[in-house]
Amino acid sequence: MEERELNMPLLGDAFPELNVQTTHGPMNIPGDLKGKWFVLFSHPADFTPVCTTEFIAFQDRYDEFQELGCDLIGMSVDQVFSHIKWIEWIKEKMDVDIKYPVIAANDSIALKLGMLHPGKGTNTVRAVFIGDPKGKVRLVLYYPQEIGRNIDEVLRAVKALQISDKQGAIPANWPNNRLLQDRIIVPPASNMKDAAERLDKYEGYDWWFCHKPLDK
C-alpha cells in the first residue's frame, strides 16, 4: 500500500501557500487575504447532511465574522461544479445564500494541510484553520466526520485571538467564565519586583493570577 506523506501546519507557522480554484474564481491563500483574519474550514463531501448543516451555520454567522474583519473559506476535494450545484441546492431548498467561497481542492492541496482523513480515501476531515493578518496559523481544530462543528466556538475563538493579541490571556468559557466573566488575565510577572507589585496594580487571587476589565 502506498504511503502518503501527511503534513500539517503548526501554530505560529506561515499558512502554506495555495493557488486554488473556488466558487468565486481563482484565489491565492494566504496572499489574497493579507491584512485580514480568515477561517478556512474543510468538509468531507458536498451533498451530505452534516456538511449541509455546517455550511448553513457558518453562513448564519457570516456577518459577525465580517464585523471582525474575518473572511470565511470552505473547502473539500469535490470539483467546483459540484460545489456550485450544492450551493444552488442550499439556496433553493433551505433559502440560504452561501456568500463565502468554496475551494475545489485536490489531494496535493489537502495533504499540505493534513486534511485527508486517515483510512477514508480522499475524504477530508472537518478541519478549521484560523489565520491572522500576517498569514500565520493561530488555531487549528479537527473533528471526525461524524460530528458537526460548533460555529459559535469558531467565532468566539476569532474574537478571543484578536483580544488576546492586544490585552492578555483569555480564561475558560470566555466571555462567561465562572470566576472572571469577561475579564482578561494579566500576563505573568517576569521578575520578582513585578510580582511584588502585581496585587497593588490589579485585582487577583495571587500575584500570578491577576485580571483586569476587558477594554471595549
Count of the separate structural domains present in the chain: 2
Active site residue 51: yes
Structural domain of residue 195, as residue ranges?
167-216
Answer yes or no: are the C-beta atoms of 170 and 185 closer than 8 Å.
yes
Distance separating alpha carbons of residues 175 and 211, to the nearest angstrom: 13
Residue 121 confidence class, pLDDT cut points 50, 70, 90? low
Please pick, among 20, 33, 39, 51, the residue that the annotation labels catalytic.
51
pLDDT at 4: 47
Tell me, what amino acid is at 39?
Answer: V
| Core vs surface per residue 179-201: b (16+ CB within 10 A) or e | ebeebbbbeeeeeeeeeeebeee
CATH code of residue 79: 3.40.30.10
Question: What is the gyration radius of the CA atoms in the chain, in angstroms?
Answer: 20
Query: Picking from 48-57, 102-111, 146-155, which range would have the lowest pLDDT averaged per residue?
Result: 102-111
Q: What are 84's three cell numbers?
A: 456550485
Distance separating alpha carbons of residues 162 and 187, to the nearest angstrom: 16
- Check pLDDT > 90 for residue 126: no
Same domain for 177 and 141: no
